[in-house]
Amino acid sequence: MVETILLILVGCIAGVINTIAGGGSLLTLPFLIFLGIPSNVANGTNRVAILIQNIFSTAGFQSKGVSAYPFSIHMGLSALAGSFIGAKIAVDIQGDTFNKILAIVMILVVLVMIFKPKNTEKYTAERTKGKYFWATVVAFFFIGIYGGFIQAGTGIFILLALSSISNFSLVKSNSVKVVVAFIYTIGAVLVFAYNSKIDWQIGLTMAIGNSLGAWFASRWSVQKGDGLVKIFLAVMVSGMAIKLWFF
């Protein structure tokens, strides 16, 4: 009973973090491993909660009238193709050097997003066609590879791509992010399930919390706007960078 309550509580917190910014897996993965689950199984089990979480967060954004259909579907399919590749990688290719490089990149990401000058009225239009569309498709393919393999922090890269290439607001970027994450996570779940790397009971229990947090956070972030997202981004990216560099 205590384990069940903790799974739901940790999942709820992660659902809020994942929906508003990204990086909730930095909380759930260590917790699953702490429960005695092997790291590769914890990685697969975590995807079950994320998959279900994004159904609720998508519904939450749509209930507030925030959507980018069918653009989000196109990007999701691109990320899905990449996620199969990432999830199939059997060898750990990170290493200390990779982690430190990633830490620096993530700090640069949040600095660009937070201190990016506001566009003038002339340049506020969203860019979803032509070269911008295809540039985003390519970006999401590589994001899908990363997400399929590691997952933690994928949402931050999605927000960067959408705000920089497509010129979306952070709130609208989040609405796209949860749809994309749902689609590409399907691929990751299939690969992990095929290789028997998922504890379904624990994953579904944690999904209850993830879903509650995602529903609340998606509706709340729409009301609070981009300022709330920037705060969450700053906190989560800084935390991820410190973990990757020192631990």
Look at residue 67 and give its three-state secondary structure: coil
Annotated domain spans of the chain: 2-246
pLDDT confidence bin for 134, thresholds 50/70/90: very high
Q: Kindly tell me if the per-residue pLDDT of 94 is higher than 80.
A: no
pLDDT given for residue 81 in this prediction? 93
- Residue 173: DSSP 8-state: H
Q: Which residue has the higher pLDDT, 128 or 124?
A: 128
CA-wise closest residue to 218 among 156, 185, 167, 173: 173
- Residue 196: DSSP 8-state: T
Is the backbone peptide bond immediately before 30 cis, with ω within 30 degrees of 0? no
37-41, 75-79, 99-103, 126-130: least confidently modelled range: 99-103
pLDDT given for residue 99 in this prediction? 54
pLDDT confidence bin for 50, thresholds 50/70/90: very high
Quote the CA–CA distance of 69 and 67 in Å, as a whole number: 6
- Residue 91: DSSP 8-state: S
Max mean pLDDT among 164-168, 184-188, 206-210, 236-240 falls in: 206-210
pLDDT given for residue 209 in this prediction? 94
CA-wise closest residue to 28 among 140, 153, 160, 149: 153
Can you read off the two tokens belonging to residue 30? 């260590």
pLDDT given for residue 110 in this prediction? 62
Mean pLDDT value across residues 99-126? 60
What one-character-per-residue DSSP string does 95-145 give? HHHHHHHHHHHHHHHHHHHHHPPPPPGGG-S---SHHHHHHHHHHHHHHHH
Percent of the chain having pLDDT more than 70?
76
Mean pLDDT value across residues 62-87? 88
pLDDT confidence bin for 123, thresholds 50/70/90: very low
Q: Kindly tell me if the per-residue pLDDT of 72 is higher than 70.
A: yes
Quote the CA–CA distance of 37 and 105 in Å, as a whole number: 30
pLDDT confidence bin for 225, thresholds 50/70/90: low
Q: Kindly tell me if the per-residue pLDDT of 127 is higher than 50.
A: yes
pLDDT given for residue 24 in this prediction? 81
pLDDT given for residue 208 in this prediction? 95
Contact (Cβ atoms closer than 8 angstroms) between residue 161 and residue 199: no
Quote the CA–CA distance of 161 and 181 in Å, as a whole number: 14
Quote the CA–CA distance of 247 and 241 in Å, as a whole number: 10
Q: Which residue has the higher pLDDT, 137 or 229?
A: 137
Q: Kindly tell me if the per-residue pLDDT of 77 is higher than 70.
A: yes
Residue-wise pLDDT tens digits, 155-200: 888 888 898 898 888 888 888 999 999 999 998 899 889 888 899 9
Mean pLDDT of the chain: 81
Q: Kindly tell me if the per-residue pLDDT of 74 is higher than 50.
A: yes
Quote the CA–CA distance of 208 and 32 in Å, as a whole number: 15
> Angle at Cα 180 formed by Cα 177 and Cα 185, nearest 5°?
120
